[in-house]
Amino acid sequence: MRQGLRHLKRALAYAQRCLSATRRTPVLVLVALIGLLAFASLRSRSILVGWCAHHLTGADGDVQCFQLGHTTHTRPRQLPRNFTVQLDPQWRESLKGVMVDVIAFPRDQRLLCTIPKAGSTLLRSLSLAHAVGLHLEPTNPADLTLIHPFAAKRLVQLSDFPDAYIAQLLQRPTWQYSAVVRHPLTRVLSAYLDKLQRERDFARDPFNDRPVGSFASFVRVLESVAHARPEGLNSTDEHWRPQSAFCLFRSLPREALSEVVQLEDLAAIRRVYAEWFGVYGARWATEHRRRREHGQATSLHARSAATWLKAYVNEDLARRVRQLYREDYERFGYGLWPPS
């Protein structure tokens, strides 16, 4: 590891010298980038992309190093997007406690926001296979625990870029930005069933090792925190943090996102799998349909919250959850109950 870091530092220094001494001669820039690719370790992709965005991007220019790889598809250039991006200065602070933020696929010119308990395990598994050739199956117990840590380490993320470049990137018509969301009630019930009932992981904020029994008790604790903390639920564990706190939803105009797909829309989700992730996604789209038809989970820790809804939630509790996550209900157009 130390030797790899030494090589990486040398490659960075060499690239800097190439750029300053040769007026960015394309051949030497390419050599420097190949050196970076060869010697970077687990975070090589994000290190490279962040470095390129910082050094090689002009006001209207494309990032040259993004052209080194094979693009899986091309889209015609569209007219410039007619909106302004102003990032919240505190947006990076809001990532505290978030394992993976918006995933970037530079070669494909795509951004994908995966939210915990909104199909993120499968989406991140497919992202790893597509972007870095790492195959981890969500239905394999040995692989399941590795998906999120490896996604955090191996995938390029939006926070790897400088803010000025992010604002420019989001306005480029050639880039597409998609997000997947879930009905807030089934999402928070799934989080309760998975993290507290099954794993009994009460160390998660805000429980601080205090056991919680029923789903109603869980909601009561969240209500207390929402009223007690100035930031509400925005600083709690990412699995029951509001979805609006992810994806830069609060900073961006709706036009900045190409699509916001509801997890309940099975046809749209399968289309995302197939369009975004090539052969890996197409295979999983078929597998997803088969598992749904046979009542099987699409990942090992999926709680199938919709199946358990009536056993855990009555009308009053559903209304309290809607009050807790009102912003999500309104932003994503959900009714009191999830679609049947």
SS3 of 179, please? strand
Beta-carbon contacts of residue 301 (< 8 Å; ≥ 6 apart):
121, 144, 194, 198
Q: Which tens digit of pLDDT belongs to each residue from 188-207? A: 999 999 999 988 999 999 99
Domain chopping of the chain, boundaries: 1-68, 184-243+302-332
Q: What is the Cα–Cα distance from 297 to 67, expressed in whole angstroms?
A: 38
Point out the residues of the chain with pLDDT beneath 50.
1-4, 6-7, 11, 14, 18, 21-24, 31, 35, 38-47, 49-51, 53-77, 79
DSSP 74-104: -----PPP-------TTTTGGGTT-S---EE
CA-based nearest residue to 29, from 37, 20, 40, 18: 18
Strands 176-181 and 110-114: parallel
Task: Check residue 2 and give its pLDDT.
Answer: 46
Residue type, 205: D
Task: Check residue 197 and give its pLDDT.
Answer: 92
Q: What is the Cα–Cα distance from 11 to 26, expressed in whole angstroms?
A: 16
CA-based nearest residue to 326, from 193, 256, 257, 226: 226
Strands 103-105 and 110-114: antiparallel
* Residue carrying structure tokens 């009536």: 310
Task: Check residue 43 and give its pLDDT.
Answer: 45
Give the CA dihedral 304, 310, 315, 321, nearest 10 degrees.
-20
Indicate left, alpha or beta for 18 from its phi (over 0: left) and psi (-120 to 50: alpha): alpha
Neighbours of 33 (CB within 10 A): 20
Long-range contacts of 98-101 (CB under 8 A, 24+ apart): 98/238, 98/246, 99/148, 99/149, 99/151, 99/152, 99/238, 100/124, 100/148, 100/151, 100/152, 100/155, 100/157, 101/157, 101/158, 101/159, 101/246
* Residue carrying structure tokens 């420019």: 168
Residue type, 221: V
Backbone angles phi, psi at 147, to 5 degrees: -60, -50
Q: What is the Cα–Cα distance from 190 to 308, expressed in whole angstroms?
A: 9
Stretch (H or E) spanning 243: none
- Report whether 184 contacts 326 (CB < 8 A): no
For residue 107, what are the CA distances in angstroms to 62, 90, 138?
12, 28, 25
Burial degree of 12 (CB within 10 A; 0-12, 13-18, 19+) = middle
Task: Check residue 25 and give its pLDDT.
Answer: 52
Q: How much is the pTM?
A: 0.77
Instruction: Give bridge partners of residue 179 from the DSSP assignment.
Output: 113, 260
